[in-house]
């Protein structure tokens, strides 16, 4: 059905713009972005999505037959890379790894990510509107402390697991060890190459001397 993606995109656009309208930092960012166009090509499912910024938000549109030069920046990525990008991985790292192809005005991609990920909604104010100031504040405090606890627990768990794996059980090499080994291997590779070249030179000399004699 031709309409389903359009309908989904319409819904996404509406919710996104509603969220952006609640973010106090968004108007200034949108002001800077207004009029810029970003094309995101997803490999699988094959999808070309245009993000067109305007002062109140962003228009999302499917673009199948538009030339690339109509956009300020074009991004090509696969779903995995998209996940990492939204997870906060740096754009440069993904580009150097060759998993993200960006053409055109690269800062536009970073600005887009900042806009979408740094959404700082004043949801406490919105709650206060419905519940009153005091209940909203205590509810918000509760949620915040729960969030802090979750974050701390996750960091501690990560730290514990990595310490066990790298230091106690020694199941995996640590980053320093890994880099040390890699440097040694590179050195070895260079040395082998030199040796090979030297042998080759000797062999050549032997053949020319053999011919001469």
Partner 1 sequence: MTPSDKRTTHFGYQEVPVDEKASRVADVFHSVAARYDVMNDLMSFGIHRVWKRLTIERAGVRPGHSVLDIAGGTGDLTLKFSRLVGPRGRVVLADINESMLRVGRDKLLDRGVGGNVEYVQANAETLPFPDNTFDCITIAFGLRNVTDKDAALRSMARVLKPGGRLLVLEFSKPDNALLSQAYDQYSFRLLPRMGELVAGDAESYRYLAESIRMHPDQETLKGMMEDAGLERVEYTNLTGGIVALHRGIKL
**Chain residues that interact with partner 1, rule: CB under 8 A:** 2-3, 6-7, 9-10, 35, 37, 52, 54, 59, 61-63, 65-66, 70
Q: Quick one: tokens of 38?
A: 């970003």
Give the three-class secondary structure for 75: strand
Alpha-carbon distance 187 to 33, whole Å? 48
Q: Quick one: tokens of 169?
A: 């059980």
Name which of 7 and 172 has its Cβ closer to partner 1. 7
Cα–Cα distances in angstroms (integers) from residue 185 to residues 7, 51, 170, 178, in the given order: 55, 46, 21, 11
User: Rounded to the nearest whole angstrom, what is the least distance from the CB of residue 104 to partner 1 in the complex?
Assistant: 14
Alpha-carbon distance 207 to 212, whole Å? 9
Give the three-class secondary structure for 173: coil
Category of 164 on φ-ψ map: left (φ > 0), alpha (ψ -120 to 50) or beta: alpha
Name which of 39 and 136 has its Cβ closer to partner 1. 39
User: Rounded to the nearest whole angstrom, what is the least distance from the CB of residue 110 to partner 1 in the complex?
Assistant: 21
User: Rounded to the nearest whole angstrom, what is the least distance from the CB of residue 3 to partner 1 in the complex?
Assistant: 5
Peptide bond into 45 cis (omega under 30): yes
User: Rounded to the nearest whole angstrom, what is the least distance from the CB of residue 64 to partner 1 in the complex?
Assistant: 9
Q: Quick one: tokens of 53?
A: 């910024």
Alpha-carbon distance 93 to 95, whole Å? 5
Name which of 44 and 69 has its Cβ closer to partner 1. 69
User: Rounded to the nearest whole angstrom, what is the least distance from the CB of residue 11 to partner 1 in the complex?
Assistant: 10
């Amino acid at each position: 059905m031709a309409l389903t993606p359009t309908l989904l995109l319409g819904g996404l656009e509406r919710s996104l713009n509603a969220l952006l309208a609640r973010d106090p930092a968004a108007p200034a960012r949108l002001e800077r972005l207004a009029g810029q166009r970003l094309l995101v090509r997803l490999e699988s499912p094959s999808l070309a999505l245009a993000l067109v910024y305007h002062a109140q938000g962003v228009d999302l549109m499917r673009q199948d037959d538009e030339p690339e030069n109509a956009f300020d920046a074009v991004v090509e990525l696969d779903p995995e890379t998209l996940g990492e990008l939204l997870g906060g991985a740096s754009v440069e790292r993904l580009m150097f790894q060759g998993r993200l192809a960006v053409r055109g005005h690269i800062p536009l991609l970073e600005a887009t990510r900042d806009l979408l990920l740094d959404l700082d909604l004043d949801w406490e104010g919105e709650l206060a509107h419905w519940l009153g100031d005091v209940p909203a504040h205590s509810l918000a405090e509760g949620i915040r402390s729960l969030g802090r606890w979750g974050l701390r627990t996750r960091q501690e768990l990560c730290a514990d697991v990595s310490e066990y794996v790298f230091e106690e059980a020694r199941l995996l090499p640590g980053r320093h060890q890994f880099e040390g080994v890699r440097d040694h291997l590179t050195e070895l590779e260079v040395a082998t190459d030199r040796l090979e070249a030297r042998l080759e030179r000797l062999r050549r000399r032997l053949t020319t001397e053999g011919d001469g004699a």
